[in-house]
Amino acid sequence: MKAEDEWWRGCVIYQVYPRSFQDTTGDGIGDLAGVTRRLPYIASLGVDVVWLSPFFKSPMADMGYDVEDFCAVDPMFGTMDDFDRLVAEAHRLGLKVIVDQVLSHVSECHAWFVESRRDRSNPKADWFVWAEPKKDGTPPNNWLSVFGGSAWEWDGTRRQYYLHNFLASQPDLNFHNPDVQDAVLETVRFWLERGVDGFRLDAVNYYFHDRRLRDNPPLRRIKGNDVPETNPYGYQDHVHDKSQPENIAFLRRFRALLKEYGARAAVGEVGDGDRSLKTVAEYTAGNELLQMCYTFDLLGPEYSAAHVRKCIEGFETTVRDGWVCWSLSNHDVPRHATRLTKKNGDPDRTARFAILLLATLRGSICLYQGEELGLEEAEIAREDLRDPYGIRFWPAFKGRDGCRTPMVWEHDARNAGFTEGRPWLPVPASHAAAAVDVQEKDSGSVLAWYRHVLAIRQGSAALRAGELGFLPSGRDVLLFERRAGDAAVLCAFNFSDAAAKARLPSGANEVLLAVGGHSFEKKTLTLAGRSAILVRLA
């Protein structure tokens, strides 16, 4: 395989949440023309790929993850011509474009579901997961929805239940039906024909369900699951409603389609609790399935040297020939400048420390819009909530709107330059103070730091694609080498608040980057609390 065909290996992805990025029409919602307008800014960060969250036609019950038409742009985001211009401009700037492909389910407004629910004998009657009630009228099994309640919704027309792993208005497709697989693959082909470079596959392990509809057993250990404990979903061991073995054959079909179009790639989202790495290993093995996946291992509240090392070693041990995409923030979790900052800590220091850590891990990495500004999680009032997940579990869980507020471009402009109208979510004053135009003028800003870190990563074969090996260190220190041929970099991170020491290997001769205080004495490195350093090794 040519090196250029593996552009995804070690790449830096920048996730754009279009409705919150840039509005050009004044309706308070970001659009594709706005993304195109800001592509030079994205390119200036030193990233390789733009990931676009859904912009397809949708009733927006789940902010576009409930797709009504896979092959149409929703008018709130613009037109297909707007999309084509975006792709052309991104390619002109040297950026790849991947789109968020939501294949496990559709909107209840989708033509396929409208036909399927009409009766039990129409051509699409078996395109969704329909099941008879139990004798007492209750759902066929105990499966739960990620968004709360039963995963089964009664339909009065067919007098059956249908499966929905998310909202009741997001019925699950029946991937056991080969006609369904053919149909969704044709929607993938549609975007390949329009020139996209790849896909982010939403909920990639949710495509298939257990044909026998067996009950899920209880989960023995609740802590560490990838959903909040306020949600009963986390109390089940989801062995029957997702991550079924039949998915492997479908992913092989998906990869075969990508190969028809040359250097295209896909990254899968895997939410599978303690089995996530095992699932990633299965989905990325060899050269016939997905190129890479990401999990929620670094997207939760755990943040320590031991946890990060466990995640890395778990991947390296379990995923022998696959590839991982690491991230610390996205549109589904609280921003890491808040999530990973200790009480009375410094979010700015957290942001700098975190990107240095992310940029040194072996794998590809994904950044979420606004994290390069050090934006913290926004506090959203109950009356301003738009996320159905948060509305369902308020106040124990406030949902995902706090990480989805608009991007801030100009500190003294109306709505920080996002829109001239009323924004779909409020723009926090603290975010406006950290706007792009403010940080562009400050060589010591978080934005400047991100650009510097990404430039170092891009220029280092060791950091971009080298092997990773851990070195002996104390409990709170993460110490490892990245090495590619003769190029090597020592990476040291002190997660504690107190100073810590680490033994330096021979050949440490040049500091590349540092966060916080450090000192050298012969073969010993002393790192101040919450400090990190990269050192070139001869």
Q: List active site positions.
A: 202, 260
Residue 430: count of CB within 10 angstroms of its CB: 12
CA 293 to chain centre: 10
Token pair 């993460």: residue: 478
CA–CA dist 378, 427 (Å, integer): 9
Q: For the purposes of burial, counting CB atoms within 10 Å of the CB of 437, is it exposed (0-12), middle (13-18) or buried (19 or more)?
A: middle
Q: ∠403-408-411 over CA atoms, to 5°?
A: 140
Question: Which of 436, 430, 441 is closest to 405 using CA atoms?
Answer: 430
CA–CA dist 234, 232 (Å, integer): 5
Bridge partners, residue 511, by sequence = 535
Residue 107 neighbours by CB under 8 Å, 6+ apart:
58, 59, 61, 66, 67, 68, 113, 169, 170
Q: Are the beta carbons of 509 and 497 closer than 8 angstroms?
A: no
Q: Are the beta carbons of 351 and 313 closer than 8 angstroms?
A: no
Distances (CA, A) of 159 to 125, 132, 155: 13, 8, 5
CA–CA dist 511, 122 (Å, integer): 68
Query: Phi and psi of 521, rounded to 5°?
Result: -140, 105
Q: Which two tokens stand for residue 348?
A: 């700015």
CA–CA dist 538, 508 (Å, integer): 6
Rounded (10°) CA dihedral 64, 66, 71, 77: -20
Query: Phi and psi of 445, rounded to 5°?
Result: -75, 165
Residue 92 neighbours by CB under 8 Å, 6+ apart:
none
Q: Are the beta carbons of 12 and 367 closer than 8 angstroms?
A: yes
Bridge partners, residue 477, by sequence = 494
Question: Which of 114, 110, 129 is closest to 173 using CA atoms?
Answer: 129
| H or E segment to which residue 108 belongs | none
What order of strands is seen across the sheet that includes strand 524-527?
Answer: 500-503, 524-527, 518-521
